[in-house]
Amino acid sequence: METRRPIRVAVVSRHELTRAGLVELVASVPERAVVRAVVGTDAHLGEHDVVVCDVAGQGETGLDLLTCLVESGVPVVALGLSGRPDLVERAVAAGVAATVDLDVSAGKLVALLEQVAAGHRAAWDVPGLDDLVAAAERLGLSTREGEVLVLIARGLSNQDIGRQLFLSIDSIKTYIRFLYRRIGVTSRSQAVLWASDHGLATRRRSDLRLRQD
């Protein structure tokens, strides 16, 4: 069996305490990740597989930092955009691969970094996701059906949904079949429109990138 090498993670934060905390968090699973702190954006980021950048409370300054890091060509995960969906949308548009909240656990953070380092774009911890799933439950959907529907409405493929929810592609397809029957639709585009009509989509219909089943 081929042994996977640990991913190489760069941690960027203007706050020394936050840098130290992130380094300790990621380094707590040394078999999966090696990490070093980076003070500025002029470091040799090309030596790394993924960058995690703390931009909590920095507003436009944080967005500028993320954009600069994205231009390095190394996948970037943004930390600390919770409560600012406007900045999340702009960060994603700028090329950030994923966002994550400040209270993330070591296991969840490293799992996300591994997926991003492998070339996948994630949608974990986008502000409002939990509220949308709760709204879906009030409409009669199960928690899992609500999660799948909200992620479909955000334009994720079945494969990306499976990665986010830690489910196999076959499980995702099964949930989608049950979901379609429950809401009375027969296609992905109809499911997206249903989600939009019932307030479960965060983007306008014209902005959604529909994918084929």
In a domain, 202, yes or no: yes
Residues 74 and 152 occupy one common structural domain: no
What pLDDT does 174 receive? 92
In a domain, 212, yes or no: no
**Which of 104, 191, 112, 89 is closest to 146 using CA atoms?**
191
What pLDDT does 187 receive? 92
Range(s) of the domain holding residue 156: 129-207
Residues 104 and 40 occupy one common structural domain: yes
What's the total number of domains in the chain? Answer: 2
Q: What angle do CA 8, 13, 17 make, to 5 degrees?
A: 105
Residue 12 has pLDDT above 50, yes or no: yes
Residue-level length of the chain:
213
Residues 111 and 133 occupy one common structural domain: no
In Å, what is the CA distance from 196 to each residue of 29, 46, 205?
A: 40, 40, 7
In a domain, 122, yes or no: no
Residues 185 and 91 occupy one common structural domain: no
Residues 15 and 96 occupy one common structural domain: yes
Question: What confidence tier does 170 reach under pLDDT thresholds 50, 70, 90?
Answer: confident
Among the residue ranges 151-155, 156-160, 178-182, 209-213, the one predicted with the least confidence is: 209-213
Among the residue ranges 103-112, 161-170, 201-210, the one predicted with the least confidence is: 201-210
Q: How many CB atoms lie within 10 A of CB 213?
A: 13
Residue 179 has pLDDT above 50, yes or no: yes
Residue 183 has pLDDT above 50, yes or no: yes
In a domain, 2, yes or no: no
Report residue 95 as tokens. 């090329």
In a domain, 149, yes or no: yes
Q: What is the pTM for the complete model shown?
A: 0.57
Residues 105 and 139 occupy one common structural domain: no
Query: Residue 101 sits in a domain of what CATH number?
Result: 3.40.50.2300
In a domain, 108, yes or no: yes
Question: What confidence tier does 177 reach under pLDDT thresholds 50, 70, 90?
Answer: very high
**Which of 56, 37, 57, 55 is closest to 45 using CA atoms?**
37
Cα radius of gyration rounded to whole Å, the chain: 18
How high does pLDDT run on average in the chain? Answer: 80
In a domain, 24, yes or no: yes
The domain boundary, picked from 57, 82, 117, lies at 117
Percentage, residues of the chain above pLDDT 70:
83
Residues 112 and 133 occupy one common structural domain: no
Question: What confidence tier does 158 reach under pLDDT thresholds 50, 70, 90?
Answer: confident
Q: What is the mean pLDDT of residues 54-81?
A: 84
Q: What angle do CA 154, 152, 131 make, to 5 degrees?
A: 65
Residue 74 contacts residue 51 (beta carbons within 8 Å) = yes
Residues 11 and 101 occupy one common structural domain: yes
Query: Residue 142 sits in a domain of what CATH number?
Result: 1.10.10.10
Residue 3 has pLDDT above 70, yes or no: no
Integer Cα distance of 113 and 9 in angstroms:
8
